[in-house]
Amino acid sequence: MIHKPYGCLSQFSGEAEDFTLADLDEFPRDVYPVGRLDKDSEGLLLLTNDKRLNNKLLNPRFAHEREYWVQVEGEAREQHLEALRAGVEIRVKKEVYRCRPLKASILEGHFLLERNPPIRFRKHIPTSWLSLCLTEGKNRQVRRMTAKVGLPTLRLFRYRIQDLVLPDGEPGLVKELSRKELEVRLKLKL
């Protein structure tokens, strides 16, 4: 389990100037990320060499819940949440895609360390924090969904997958988990 920092690619290699997972720790050669967080996103990322775990977490038929804390530009209102909960239409690979219904709520305040670099600040435009719980994961889906309802994403943080919660700590934290702990927290049999 990794607390992926902002600006880090969810891969082990890249261009010479890229910040990658290889810069965080020494990992066994046969592990790889389960899913992705884009370069601008932060939070919980799992690495494994277990193909069954990878399939069970990424295959949409298993519908594992992922919770994201999202800072958006604008004041979030109930109509925004209702639209998100119903499942908005976004474009994925140039096709219209209707997102599955999800859980959405407004977070009062936020619980994250300030990001470096900080998000853009506009004196006269408020920001809001949302909790979005999805059971699917299309490319840049959360960003596309919030933009669709008129609340562009400023900061995106994956807080949990099922009952596996990212512990408090600095970005870059790496923690090894046992198979039993994964089975219990992810609610699956490996």
CA 92 to chain centre: 17
Length of the chain (residues): 190
Active site residue 168: no
CA distance 145 to 153: 9
Which residue in 50, 93, 88 sits closest to 182, CA to CA? 50
The rounded distance, in Å, linking the Cα atoms of 38 and 75 is 25
From CA 60, how far away is CA 186, in angstroms rounded?
A: 15
Helix and strand totals (H; E) in the chain: 4, 12
From the list 23, 38, 40, 163, the catalytic residue is 38
Amino acid sitting at position 173:
L
Catalytic positions, please? 38
